[in-house]
Structure 1
Amino acid sequence: MEKANWNDKIQIVQNFKNNTKILSDNSMGIYFEFNSKNSLIVHFKPLNENFSSEVFNENDGVLINFERDLIDEDDIEYALDVMSLFNKYPKFQINILVQVSLIRNLIRLLKEEYNNDSASYIMLKTLLKVLILHLIRFQNNSFLKQDLNQKRVFQFLELMESTFLKETHTAFYANEIGISSKRLNQILKEKLKLTAKQIIQQRQITEAKRRLTRGEITTKEIAFLLGFDSKSSFSRFFKKHVGITPTDFRLQN
């Protein structure tokens, strides 16, 4: 894939500042704060959230920012693991020298490939995936306090990833989690600044874009796959959120 076609999907920024423009609100971000040679603090920006203000300090660091569809192109299990990584804790610290060295080396390789005039999209995706898989392993081995509402956010996102093609009503997710729809929306608004319905619609748009770009099935088939009762209702929904029709989007991509 040509660089011009993926440079709006991933960015790597040295010395991230609070006025640095990121890809979009619907992007995911990892900020690596280098405290010392033997210590590394990893900060996460889940979908529709912002980094904590403590990220913007004088310490040396690197931001890796990428759009959600970069992980949606892979299998569902990987996507769920990534959602877990980003929504369990806002940050965690790595103090084991061999782990810090490994993460530093992966970041270095990512930066070198990203800044290469003939950078490979597949190489970037592969390096990013390896980096994320190591972070998942390190995070799972840590013991950090997790608040109840954050757990519920993760429960919702995990459940949505596996069922959004069939279930698009807030009540279903609230019942599965064991709280009211009103309470679920309160928690999601507090943590993600969006309601359950808005998050589900956002996920539908991401999936629609992915399917349209791949071109393996028709627009009508995509409409029914996403739970719409007609091609026209899906087209109206897509144009409202994206600004162009599914047909025009497919032609452009």
Structure 2
Amino acid sequence: MINVFESNIVLLSNNSMGIYFEFETKNKLIVHFKPLNEVFKSEAFNNNKGVLLNFERDLIDEDDIEYVLDVMSLFNKYPLFILTDIIEIKKIRKLIQLLENEFKDEAVSYIMLKTLLKVLLLHLIRFQNDGFLEQDLNQKRVFEFLELMEIHFLQETATKYYANKIGVSSKRLNQILKEKLNLTAKQIIQQRQITEAKRRLVRSEISTKELAFELGFDSMSSFSRFFKKYVGVPPSEFKKESLA
């Protein structure tokens, strides 16, 4: 969490999400969002009087799918929205302050950070509505793809499946995703598989063989090659190092 932000860069991995709270006046809060695989829009940092909050998507993955989809919707519907209700702005300021205090505490608690973040995100989800900004058609398709992928990526990894659901060709879907996220559908799905694999390896007792089949691989060896290609080490070694 940073009080002054001077450049438009990704501070964490591609699996990080970001919110920049720009406190323009006492009764006007501009909230900028950085979805997965993106950077903030350039206009987010015209005014450095604000607070930046970056977090890895692992902090939302452990919750139920409805909450995850609500968060993905929050980040992908609009690049920003504006709050003008003084009472609501005070609530957001208070939650940000609690997060910052916990983050800086020597006895910082992962559970406390995760809980405070969830409360903050739920407030923002409630505040957001369809009247802030109009979405362009391609942005809607990006969100639709991400929503479908979140639900089906364990069973469906083919671009054609998602393209058919959205009502465009595979080529057109990849064009849209490349334009908006600079990644193809396959790359985004693979990134999601890696994120899920890391989470399960570290936070469950699942075996590498079981995980391989849950993620849709036809053999443990093909999964191990895939994992090593993107992470740099085999899954068994990653788990061992993470738990050391």
TM-score normalized by the length of structure 2: 0.96
Q: CA deviation at 1:57?
A: 2.3
Asked if the contact 1:27–1:47 (Cα under 8 Å) also holds between the matched residues in 2, the reply is yes
What is the aligned counterpart of 1:110 among 93, 96, 99?
99
CA RMSD, aligned part only?
A: 1.2
Residue 89 (structure 2) pairs with residue 71 (structure 1): no
SS of alignment partner, residue 2 of structure 2 = strand
Asked if the contact 1:32–1:41 (Cα under 8 Å) also holds between the matched residues in 2, the reply is yes
In structure 1, runs of 5+ residues without a counterpart are: 1-11
In the comparison of the two structures, how many residue pairs are matched? 242
The equivalent residue for 1:7 is: none
Q: 2:216 & 2:136 partners in 1: Cα distance?
A: 34
What is the aligned counterpart of 2:223 among 230, 234, 252?
234
Q: CA deviation at 1:74?
A: 1.5
Residue 221 (structure 2) pairs with residue 212 (structure 1): no
Asked if the contact 1:35–1:59 (Cα under 8 Å) also holds between the matched residues in 2, the reply is no
Asked if the contact 1:33–1:59 (Cα under 8 Å) also holds between the matched residues in 2, the reply is yes
TM-score normalized by the length of structure 1: 0.93
Q: CA deviation at 1:21?
A: 6.2
SS of alignment partner, residue 51 of structure 1 = coil
In structure 2, runs of 5+ residues without a counterpart are: none
Asked if the contact 2:78–2:135 (Cα under 8 Å) also holds between the matched residues in 1, the reply is yes
The equivalent residue for 1:84 is: 73
Q: 2:193 & 2:237 partners in 1: Cα distance?
A: 18
Q: CA deviation at 1:55?
A: 1.6
What is the aligned counterpart of 1:32 among 18, 21, 46?
21
Q: CA deviation at 1:20?
A: 6.4
Q: 1:20 & 1:211 partners in 2: Cα distance?
A: 29
Written as runs of structure 1 = structure 2, the 5 A alignment for 1:150-161 is 150-161=139-150
Asked if the contact 1:29–1:44 (Cα under 8 Å) also holds between the matched residues in 2, the reply is yes
What is the aligned counterpart of 2:124 among 125, 131, 135?
135
Asked if the contact 1:152–1:177 (Cα under 8 Å) also holds between the matched residues in 2, the reply is yes
Percent of aligned pairs sharing the same letter: 71
Q: 2:215 & 2:48 partners in 1: Cα distance?
A: 45
**Which consecutive segments of 4 or more residues in structure 1 shift more than 3 A?**
none
Asked if the contact 1:28–1:47 (Cα under 8 Å) also holds between the matched residues in 2, the reply is yes
SS of alignment partner, residue 14 of structure 1 = coil
Asked if the contact 1:34–1:59 (Cα under 8 Å) also holds between the matched residues in 2, the reply is no
Q: CA deviation at 1:19?
A: 6.5
